[in-house]
């Protein structure tokens, strides 16, 4: 199992941003991700920087650490402009970028660009857009010239030369639990992302959560079979902090090892921990967090 972190873009680069991303590399994390939102929940009225510029700076400040988003969505992105930014990021980082991508939710990102009496997208429309978004993005990142006329997105003789450093393109980590999203993960994903089952995050038990994730992986397997792929071809990533344990895995090295072990038995390949942020839902002891990144990660690596 690999251990990674997600660093929320809440720090000025000159004050703490650079040192945190460099510290993530020093601690030996497999990857460091960031959220790709315009703002997020309880952080909405505080500092919040853009994901792509943050990752560009992180790419220049590190040399080994994989970097990426958890996750990018169509809520405020367009495949044509996003593809150009991703190709640039992959070049600057020397081929260390993973695109975490999901359908997006109904939060601030979903309403920021609305005009007048426009209504936010329904769940069905989000799913429709997500499917077309992923398909077009795959084309843009694997072909020099793309023309596409879709229901929601178009591209007219778009050039993306020289393409990604990683071939045939940088990997997609598709966040999905529903049938349509799982089919996208099976068709286009090099990895699959889960946060568990949000329906039981507050009222369920850790055992309930494990059972729900096992069910998600089983459904992913069926989607892969339909797509003619072996589910073992996809890495399975667990973004922590949203299961009934909440920050429990960060309370001690032993708690983390137990948590990681239970999820490894389900088939999870990578555990992603939120970098601690004081006075937030991601508050945790930094010294313990760093011990988990070193001692804990060494225990679960086998």
Per-residue pLDDT in tens (0 to 9) along the chain, 302 residues: 999 999 999 999 999 999 999 999 999 999 999 999 999 999 999 999 999 999 999 999 999 999 999 999 999 999 999 999 999 999 999 999 999 999 999 888 999 999 988 999 999 999 999 999 999 999 999 999 999 999 999 999 999 999 999 999 999 999 999 999 999 999 999 999 999 999 999 899 999 999 999 999 999 999 999 999 999 999 999 999 999 998 899 999 999 999 999 999 999 999 999 999 999 999 999 999 999 999 999 999 97
* Spatial distance between the Cα atoms of 99 and 27, rounded to a whole number of angstroms: 22
Q: Could you tell me if residue 36 is left (phi over 0), alpha (psi between -120 and 50 degrees) or otherwise beta? A: beta
Scanning the chain, the segments in alpha helix (DSSP H) are 18-26, 51-61, 79-93, 123-142, 179-188, 206-226, 253-266, 286-291, 297-300
> Tell me, what's the pLDDT at 106?
85
Give the integer Cα–Cα distance in Å for 85 and 239.
24
pLDDT at 107: 83
Give the distance from CA 288 to its chain's centroid. 24
Q: Is residue 168 reached through a cis peptide bond, with omega within 30 degrees of 0 on the bond before it?
A: yes
pLDDT at 247 (0 to 100)? 87
Residue-level length of the chain: 302
- CA angle, 47 as apex, 43 and 52 as ends, to 5°? 100
Asked if residues 237 and 269 have their Cβ atoms less than 8 Å apart, the reply is yes
**Would you state the pLDDT for residue 155?**
98
pLDDT at 39: 94
Whole-angstrom Cα distance, residue 36 to residue 102?
10
Contact 168, 205 (CB under 8 A): no
């Amino acid at each position: 199992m690999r251990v990674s972190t997600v660093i929320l873009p809440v720090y000025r680069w000159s004050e703490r941003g650079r040192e945190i991303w460099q510290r993530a590399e020093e601690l030996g994390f497999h990857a460091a991700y960031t959220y790709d939102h315009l703002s997020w929940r309880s952080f909405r009225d505080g500092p919040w920087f853009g994901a792509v510029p943050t990752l560009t700076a992180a790419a220049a400040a590190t040399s080994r650490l994989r970097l990426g988003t958890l996750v990018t969505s169509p809520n405020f992105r367009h495949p044509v402009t996003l593809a150009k930014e991703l190709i640039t990021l992959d070049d600057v980082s020397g081929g260390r970028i993973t695109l975490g991508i999901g359908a997006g939710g109904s939060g601030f990102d979903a309403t920021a660009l609305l005009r007048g009496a426009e209504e936010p997208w329904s769940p069905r429309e989000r799913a429709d857009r997500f499917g077309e978004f992923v398909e077009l993005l795959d084309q843009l990142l694997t072909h020099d010239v793309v023309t596409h006329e879709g229901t929601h997105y178009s591209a007219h003789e778009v050039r993306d030369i020289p393409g990604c450093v990683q071939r045939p393109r940088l990997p997609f980590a598709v966040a999905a639990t529903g049938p349509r999203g799982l089919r996208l993960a099976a068709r286009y994903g090099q990895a699959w992302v889960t946060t568990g089952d949000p329906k039981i995050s507050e009222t369920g038990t850790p055992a309930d959560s494990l059972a729900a994730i096992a069910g998600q992986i089983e459904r992913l397997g069926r989607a892969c079979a339909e797509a003619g792929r072996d589910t073992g071809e996809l890495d399975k990533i667990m973004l922590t902090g949203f299961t009934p344990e909440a920050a429990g895995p960060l309370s001690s090295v032993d708690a983390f090892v137990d948590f990681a072990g239970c999820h490894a038995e389900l088939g999870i390949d990578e555990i992603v921990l939120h970098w601690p942020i004081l006075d937030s839902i991601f508050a945790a002891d930094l010294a313990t967090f760093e011990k988990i990144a070193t001692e804990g990660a060494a225990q679960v690596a086998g």
